[in-house]
Amino acid sequence: MTEPSVSERSGLLIREFDPQRDSLEALTRLLNTAYQTLAEMGFHFVAASQDAATTAKRIASATCLVGLLDGQIIATISYYPPAKTKGTPWYDEPFVAKFGQFAVDHRYRKHGIGSLFIQRAEELAIADGATELALDTAEGAEHLRRYYAAKGYRFIAYAQWSTTNYRSVLMSKRLSHD
């Protein structure tokens, strides 16, 4: 497990999800709520409607980080090391890690919390020897594509998942191992 850290944001604790003390239901509610706006835009992201069993299955092969404020989960990201990425030629590359199920409670957005979580995923990828960190999102979610591009993620390819109703764009960032 990664060591807990408190960010510059007063009281925000970022650490790995712990099924012994964290609520899978609370994590699922955060994901459902955070992805609701995308669902209202017509994008069927799995996270918008998944149940707790699906959340558990999706985080089982990941390092799931959570952000806690006053004991409540307000942010999350699931990081998958290169050995756990699959499904597209890019994800199958041995040097590519990825992240997904990335969410920040809408009340805490635009305060840099999401950036902290992406930075932590990048640090995990570097520690695992990955030279690329990838993600996928809906092609039509222009605001998300701009957000990731501003953080150095570039277009790699398109993908069509059987569980979504949209074409995905794969984006990836070359990582610095300084």
Domain boundaries, the chain: 5-133
pLDDT, tens digit, 9 for 90 and up, residues 51-72: 999 999 999 999 999 999 999 9
What pLDDT is stored for residue 10 in this prediction? 66
Mark the ranges of the chain whose per-residue pLDDT is less than 70.
Answer: 1-10, 178
Question: Alpha-carbon distance 103 to 27, whole Å?
Answer: 10
CA 165 to the chain's CA centroid = 19
pLDDT, tens digit, 9 for 90 and up, residues 15-42: 999 999 999 999 999 999 999 998 888 8
Alpha carbons within 13 A on the beta-carbon side of 29: 8
Question: E-strand spans in 10-166?
Answer: 13-16, 63-69, 72-80, 96-104, 132-138, 154-160
CA 37 to the chain's CA centroid = 16
Residue with tokens 């960032």: 173
Question: Alpha-carbon distance 102 to 116, whole Å?
Answer: 12
Residues forming a β-bridge with 154: 172
Residue with tokens 């999706």: 58
What pLDDT is stored for residue 41 in this prediction? 87
CATH architecture of 5-133: 3-Layer(aba) Sandwich (3.40)
SS3 171: strand
SS3 66: strand
What pLDDT is stored for residue 56 in this prediction? 95
